[in-house]
Amino acid sequence: MEIQSVGIVGAGQMGNGIAHVFALAGFDVLMTDISRESLDAAVALIDRNLERQVTRGKITAETKAAAMARISTTMTLTDLGQTDLVIEAATERETVKQAIFEDLQPHLKPTTILTSNTSSISITRLASRTDRPEKFMGFHFMNPVPVMQLVELIRGIATDEPTYRTMLAVVERLGKTAASAEDFPAFIVNRILMPMINEAVYTLYEGVGNVRSIDESLKLGANHPMGPLELADFIGLDTCLAIMNVLHDGLADTKYRPCPLLTKYVEAGWLGRKTGRGFYDYRGEVPVPTR
């Protein structure tokens, strides 16, 4: 099956980035969210990010205009039913994702492929709640989507070969690189990355180092472009906690136990960049460590 039209559920950080790369690659994009303000903000952000690419000489003004013309928005979820591919990019809560797929299901074309951008939740379990588990896959983009090259493709137990091949072709058309992952908690990237971030939080919690010393140590000692606590703030501490809980529950190993300090920050609403405070305070001109 050839994919021409794409429906994206969620206009947040991941959803608008996914819309950006699909529109730029020539797909017709229909994006939905429960908030008109979120949709308008997403389109404005895509416009700014495309303009930045024009300024840097990566694309032409004509290419930008054509990409923007391919993006439309709706607040009616069921409007996505006539697209060839649906990408769910809502919050990392399984009950929310299941409700989205259940609401969409009666309105889908028989050939529509369903995917989730989940970073950790079981694809097999999500697929089992739909009428087309054989046409369901995990389609995990990295953040920020326009910049990061990798896309994880995760097959559920029922995903058929034509669906996988179709999605592989989509990734190639986007100009990105696919990595195939088995349907285990957190897949590949977050199975490795999140325990490292969690261990950095434990290092802070136990007083081994402060925020700045931990981040500088990994940047200068391991040549990481961003320290683990800075990266956690960028991802969102609520998302980090959700993934660690999936790992802990799914693999039943105490090494995946979320650090209590991570839980405390999330309970305080200090979720990182998106709320203005996390392991750093972003409300001033320069980020300042909070511990």
- The DSSP code sequence of 173-222 is HHT-EEEEE-SSTTTTHHHHHHHHHHHHHHHHHTTSS-HHHHHHHHHHHS
Rg (CA), the chain: 19
Question: What are the beta bridge partners of residue 289?
Answer: 280
- 94, 190, 198, 230: the catalytic one is 190
Catalytic residue check, 190: yes
Rounded Cα–Cα distance for residues 189 and 93 (Å): 19
Catalytic residue check, 152: yes
Cα-Cα-Cα-Cα torsion 116, 73, 63, 149, nearest 10 degrees, comes to -20
Tell how many helices (H) and how many strands (E) occur in the chain: 11, 10
Non-local CB neighbours of 55 within 8 Å, separated by 6+ positions: none
Pairing, β 5-9 against β 85-88: parallel
How would you label 155-172 residue by residue, b for 16+ Cβ within 10 Å and e otherwise? Answer: bbebbeeebbebbeebbe
- 20, 140, 198, 230: the catalytic one is 140
- 88, 92, 94, 152: the catalytic one is 152
Residues 27, 24, 69, 42, CA torsion sign: positive
Rounded Cα–Cα distance for residues 266 and 260 (Å): 10
- 119, 120, 122, 198: the catalytic one is 119
Rounded Cα–Cα distance for residues 132 and 114 (Å): 8
258: which DSSP letter? P
Neighbours of 235 (CB within 10 A): 23
Active site residues: 119, 140, 152, 190
